[in-house]
Every structure is written in structure tokens, then in C-alpha cells.
Structure 1
């Protein structure tokens, strides 16, 4: 089979290469999937560049890609929930990364049944973004019906699903986007859309219950300027908070350095008696099954910008890197795809 692998840290053109690989044999608790479609995400680019080396250094070469939709080929020992022929989708665990390939063995506990009303390309767009937003907004922030939530970058891969998810849980959703996407994001369900090219959300908002920080940097600190006292800031791009660092087993020396980096954010949280957490998404098949039911009921709809054939995976990653994608970028393993 063919697989795209990271051969060295660096940029897209120098770090990635297609190669032949053996079809894996599923071990105990694993399922072998024939991949029909995969989606790519910013974390794939971050790992390729070496941005995550401080947390986990790769033993190169390694696969790339974390989202998939496909069909079960065979199952390993102890697996009873799935059988050959089942259509499934997943955000695979970090020990099974490599969805830009024709076959992959996956931990069975990370799988969920593909919603029948979705194509494989649509299903592949859902796992990482929906799990990330579910774990941030529902699991960590405890978003409640009627609360006001600010979601940055509502037209992006994460934001477009987060807007729909927050609405599904009854929140009043405020989001930011560019002029070209204002009406489109409103159609996704946002109650208030702020055109960042014309307006400054800091001038318009106050007493927000939950801020979902998808951008990091100054946006993380600015979240506390619009947050109500006792509110919650959950971030997927900001600084790592001490609790999350401990939970993920980061060594004490690195935790000490991270604590210094997070000092200004933690101070801002303390001044507002607010919660701040950096959310590192974990693969979770049972949560994905719940999110899949929202897709089956058309409460959450896939948002896809472009679909590329497997052979054009580098072009797909280059497009993702531009930051202009309106929704998700998909790689199809079929013979043809629209790029």
C-alpha cells in the first residue's frame, strides 16, 4: 500500500514523501480499516514542522493524518463491537497516526459507526473538530442552555462545527469572521456575527459566559476582557495551564517553564475568578458516537471546503497552510476527487 510519511522536520516540500508500506495486522483491541477518506488539520502541520517536539519527539519516519472514514477489513483479538464490512469513522489516537494511507490499524475504542447519511468524505471531516469542541465546550467549560459563548473564527474547520455544536446545546452563539463569510456563518446558526474586518469585538462584547479561544496569542489574554466574572475560557491554541500539563504527564522541569509562560494568562483568570483551561483533545469513540447521532439527525452538518485525491495530499496540506479554508480540507482515497 502507499502511505504519506513525515521523513524529517521542516516544511511540506522537504519533510513529506510517499512510500510503499506493508498492510498492518491488527493487534489485540485493534481494527484494520481500509481508508476511503481522511481530513487534515493544523496539528498535522505543527507536528511536521517540529512545533510539538518539546512535548513528544517523533521517531521518524512516521505517518501523518488523524481523521478517517472507511470500512473494517479485519479485527484483532478481543474486538467484538465491529466486524468486516462495517463503515466507521474516527479520530485516531496518537499511537496510530497515519490516516493519509490506504490501510491503518486503529484502537477499536476510538472508532464510531459512520452516520449513514454522510459520505466517507463528509464523515472524515467530523471527528477531530467535533471531539475538540465537545471536550472544550461541553466537557471542560460545561456550557449550559442560554449561556453566551464567543467562538472565534466561525468559518474555519473548528469554528464551523463549534457554532453548530454550541447551538445544539442551547447556547447563544457569538462568533467572529471576515466580511465574505458573515451570512454563511449566520446560516450555520450563529446568533451574532462580528465582522472582524469592520468591527472590534472587544468594543462590542462584555459579560460573556464562555470564550472558546481557537486563535491563541493575544486573543487568549483578550478573552478575559469580555468575560464575565466567574466565566470560563477554554483554549486550543493558547498557553498550557498547570492542571492540563500535570494530567498529560509533562515532566516537572518543562511544567515549570510552561508555568512561567502561562503566568500572565493565569493572572488574568485569577483577577476575574475565572476558569482557564488549555484543552488537548483525546480520541474517544463513545463521544464520537454521540456526535455522530447529531450528524444523523442533521443537527450538525459537515462543512467541507475542498476535496483532493490522495496523490495531491501535498497540495491539500499547502492549501490548509494558507489559513483560508472555509471548513475542512479532505483527502479522498478514491480514484477521483474534486480539487
Structure 2
């Protein structure tokens, strides 16, 4: 089969190659999926560029891509929930990362029937952003009546998170650029802050929850806008010790990360706050939540652009540009 693979660390264009490799063989608890569509995520280009070397170790060449939708072509002996011909969607864990390919073997408990009202491209846009947000909001116990700040509301994560937070019943602040203010409002955000003309730090005060999708100074500044006892759940901020243990980091690495987050630790103590770097775990139960939300028209797929499989590198470069409004799709079929 044809697969896009990472051949080394460095810039995106120079370190990706299409290779012909053997079709994956499945274990008893797995299904073989013919991939019809995949979607890009910021983690894809960050892995290539070596920005995650501390927590993600690679042996080259290696696969790339997490999100996918397609059709089950083979089932393992112990698989009960799927049959050949089922249309499904999934996001795979780090060790199975290889959705920019023609076929993939996936554990049954990480697969879900795709929403009936979506095509393959639309279904492929949802797994990682949906799973990450659902698990982040569970971890932060977001509930009706809470006030939440969601950064980068026009991105793939932000556009899903706004819809999901409104479905829960939260009051949503979000940030975006001038050109996207109108359509982000249409997603349901209560207060859309145009970062080109407004400073969110002047407008957002004493919120219950910050969903930090940007990292760096935005992570530190989150503690300026949460209330005492508030919560900051980050996708890209410093690694907390709980997450370091989840990644299986040794004591020396954890001590290094402890000193690296000293400033953040001070901010957490000042606000008696809860902070967590979320590490998404693929599972069919949370995919079922996404499926139900979509089929009940409570959440919709937001797609910016669709690239053919042959232009996967361009799709990743577009992801890195930060200009996408919603998700970027790679169409296999």
C-alpha cells in the first residue's frame, strides 16, 4: 500500500516521503480499515520538526497521522462490534500513528461507526478535536452556567470546543481574527474577541475555565483571567507531573520538567487553581458521544480545505500556516 512517512526530523517538505509498504496485518482485537479520508492536526508537523522529542520517540521511517474515516475490510477473531463493510471513524494512539495511508489496523475499542449524516471527509474532521475537547472538559468538570475562555475559536479544536461548550450550557468567550468574527459567532460563542482590535485580558475576568490551545505566554496569562479556584486545561503548555508519569518519563526527565514549570507552579498557587496538560486517549465511548452530537445536529463538522492524498505535504504546510478555518482534510478516495 501507499503511505506517507516521516524519514527524519526537520522541515516538513524535506522530511516526508511516499513509500510503498506492506498492508498492515491485524490482531484478534483489531479491524483493518480502508482509509477514505484523514485530517491533519498541529501535532503532525510538530512531530516532524522534532518539537516533541522529549515525550515522543521515533524510529525512522515512521507513519504520520491520527484521524481517519473509512470502511472495515477485515475483522479479527475476537471483534464483536464491527463487520466487513461498516463505515467507521477513529483517532489512533501515538504508537499506531499512520492514518496518512491507504489502510490501517486499529483496535476495536478505538473505532466507532461514523455519523450517518456525514460523509467520509466530514467524519474524518472530528475524532482528535472531539476526543481532546470532551476529555479536557471532563477533566475540568465544565458544567452548565460555567464561564469558559476558548482560545483560537476559528481553528479545528476551537470550532468544535465552542459548539460542545454551548451544548453543555456554558457561557463562552473566544478569540479570533477580524475576518472570522462573524462565523465564529454563528458557532454559538457568547463573546467573540477580535484579537486584532481588542485585548482579551481587558475583557475576560474571573472565568471558571480556560481551554488553552496556544501555549507559551497564553498559558501563563490564563491565570490572570480565571477566578480563584479556577481551572486551566492546556493542549500545549508545560508538562505537569501527572502527565509526565502518563508519558512514562523517568525521574530525571520529570525533575527537569519540574524546574521548567517553576513560573507556572507559582501562578497555580496564587490562584489555588487546577492545571493539566491534557493527553488525549482514543476510545470508542467518547467517539460515540461525538456521533450522537452530530446526528442530533448539536455539533457540525467544520472543514476549511480538502487536499488529495498526493498533496498531503501541502496539507501539512497549510496546517502549519495557522490560516485554517476549521479542519484540513486529506482525501484518499
Alignment TM-score > 0.5, same fold: yes
Does structure 1 retain, via aligned residues, the 8 Å contact 2:55–2:247? no
Question: In structure 1, what is the equivalent of residue 22 of structure 2?
Answer: 22
Taking the TM superposition and a 5 Å limit, the aligned residue runs for 1:252-263 are 252-263=251-262
- For structure 1, the residue ranges without an aligned partner over 5 or more in a row are 335-339
Taking the TM superposition and a 5 Å limit, the aligned residue runs for 1:162-311 are 162-311=161-310
SS in 2 for 1:180: helix
| 1:183-209 deviation per Cα after TM superposition (whole angstroms, max 9, x unaligned) | 110000101100000010111111100
| 1:159-183 deviation per Cα after TM superposition (whole angstroms, max 9, x unaligned) | 0000001011110011000011111
Does structure 1 retain, via aligned residues, the 8 Å contact 2:39–2:124? yes
**CA distance in structure 2 between the partners assigned to 1:248 and 1:44 by the alignment:** 18
Question: In structure 2, what is the equivalent of residue 332 of structure 1?
Answer: 331
Compute the displacement of 1:247 (Å): 2.9
SS in 1 for 2:112: strand
Does structure 2 retain, via aligned residues, the 8 Å contact 1:6–1:60? yes
**CA distance in structure 2 between the partners assigned to 1:184 and 1:325 by the alignment:** 13
**CA distance in structure 2 between the partners assigned to 1:275 and 1:324 by the alignment:** 31
TM norm structure 2: 0.99
SS in 2 for 1:69: strand
Question: In structure 2, what is the equivalent of residue 83 of structure 1?
Answer: 83
Compute the displacement of 1:262 (Å): 1.1
- Runs of 4+ in structure 1 deviating by more than 3 angstroms, as ranges, are none
User: Between Structure 1 and Structure 2, how many residues are aligned?
Assistant: 333
Point out the more displaced range, 51-60 or 96-105: 51-60
- For structure 2, the residue ranges without an aligned partner over 5 or more in a row are none
Compute the displacement of 1:248 (Å): 2.8
**CA distance in structure 1 between the partners assigned to 2:74 and 2:152 by the alignment:** 40
Compute the displacement of 1:29 (Å): 0.9
**CA distance in structure 2 between the partners assigned to 1:220 and 1:57 by the alignment:** 25
Compute the displacement of 1:63 (Å): 0.8
Taking the TM superposition and a 5 Å limit, the aligned residue runs for 1:32-43 are 32-43=32-43
| 1:3-30 deviation per Cα after TM superposition (whole angstroms, max 9, x unaligned) | 1000111112210000111111211211
**CA distance in structure 1 between the partners assigned to 2:129 and 2:307 by the alignment:** 19
Does structure 2 retain, via aligned residues, the 8 Å contact 1:266–1:276? no
Question: In structure 2, what is the equivalent of residue 337 of structure 1?
Answer: none
